[in-house]
Amino acid sequence: VSWIDAKNYCTWAGRRLPTEAEWEKGATWDPRTNQQRVYPWGNEYDCRKGNFDDETELDASLMQDGKVGCDGFVRSAPVGSFPEGASVYGALDLGGNVWEWVMDNYNASRTYHTLRGGAWDFCGTGLMSSARNANDPNGRGTSIGFRIAWSPQEGHQSKK
């Protein structure tokens, strides 16, 4: 899905894309320790906590312990397939599965928009919660998606 499609869907649903700051807080911040985490689930790389070691796309030498198939899925996985990979806030799939569009531009030129979270065809540092990627707002791919955000004052009721 492109950034434009994701933004249009959010508008139709009465919601929005998260800002990059909101996405990063949800993925990295641990209010219990007042520290940032490397990955949504903690500070240790663990391919069992997200969908990001696709054995059809990557060399096994890049995988944890040199083994392929740790995540159990070929390409993307159903949402919520990795509950042990949840962030402190309970947000799922912030590490791996598909890159997620956020509202923000990637740079000052406003040519590209930001993607966060890594994807099924990444591993290691590409999945760190601090990792960013950029794409043309019309760009699409099998490893790109989005999540919906809203402010508490917007409520939680879906569009009818």
Q: Which long-range contacts (CB under 8 A, 24 or more apart) does 108-115 make?
A: 111/136, 112/136, 112/137, 113/3, 113/137, 114/20, 115/144
**Closest residue by Cα to residue 77 from 57, 61, 54, 56:** 54
Specify the pLDDT at position 114. Answer: 96
In sign, the C-alpha dihedral spanning 92, 95, 98, 100 is: positive
Of the chain, the percentage scoring pLDDT greater than 90 comes to: 58
pLDDT band at 54 (very low <50, low <70, confident <90, very high): low
- In this prediction, residues 123-151 reach a mean pLDDT of 89
Q: Which residues make Cβ contacts (< 8 Å) with residue 42, sequence separation at least 6? A: none
- What's the DSSP call for residue 95? S
Q: Model's pTM, two decimal places? A: 0.85
Residue 42 DSSP symbol: B
Give the pLDDT band of residue 139 (cuts 50, 70, 90). very high
* 68: pLDDT strictly greater than 70: no
| pLDDT given for residue 71 in this prediction | 74
φ and ψ of 12, to 5 deg = -60, -40
* pLDDT tens profile 13-53: 999 999 999 999 999 999 999 999 999 999 998 878 888 86
